[in-house]
Amino acid sequence: MTSVSGVDNILSQIRAMRQSTPGVGSAPTPGINTVDPSQGAVKPAGFGDMLKAGIDNVNSVQKAAAANTAAYERGDSEMSLTQVMVSLQKSDVSFKAATEVRNKMIDAYHEIMRMSV
């Protein structure tokens, strides 16, 4: 994979994620909506479900990076150093984003606890 096609691949993934974000694109995010069996309609999932889906996504990106690294270390001819580095950077960025979300949630919790009732 050349560096230009790698960048194009990452850009297409970013565009796909942007379209799957509720309120931005028309397609719902997989695993975020639930079906209400009593009404047969799709309803948006709660905050906990969205948080779990985000954490699962970070976990899958980290597992993919680890698998790519292991394949490169084994000498797999289909795995290039560029692919390994890109997957490690994706893993790093997704983990940092999850950490920032956690920090913002903790700050919001502390702010709520400081409020007088």
**Is residue 39 very low, low, confident or very high in pLDDT (cuts 50, 70, 90)?**
low
Output DSSP code: residue 22: B
Question: What is the widest separation between alpha-carbon atoms in the chain?
Answer: 63
Residue whose token pair is 């996504």 = 57
pLDDT at 33: 58
- The domain in which residue 44 lies consists of 3-114
As a dihedral over the C-alpha atoms of residue 40, residue 23, residue 11, residue 78, rounded to 10 degrees, the angle is -20
Name the residue type at position 13: Q
More confident: 109 or 6: 109
Give the pLDDT confidence score for residue 12 in this predicted structure: 75
Model confidence at 100: pLDDT above 80: yes
pLDDT tens digits for range 68-92: 999 999 998 899 999 999 999 999 9
User: Which residue carries 């270390």 as its tokens?
Assistant: 73
What's the number of domains the chain is made of?
1
According to DSSP, residue 42 is labeled E
Residue 83's nearest CA partner among 71, 68, 61 is 68
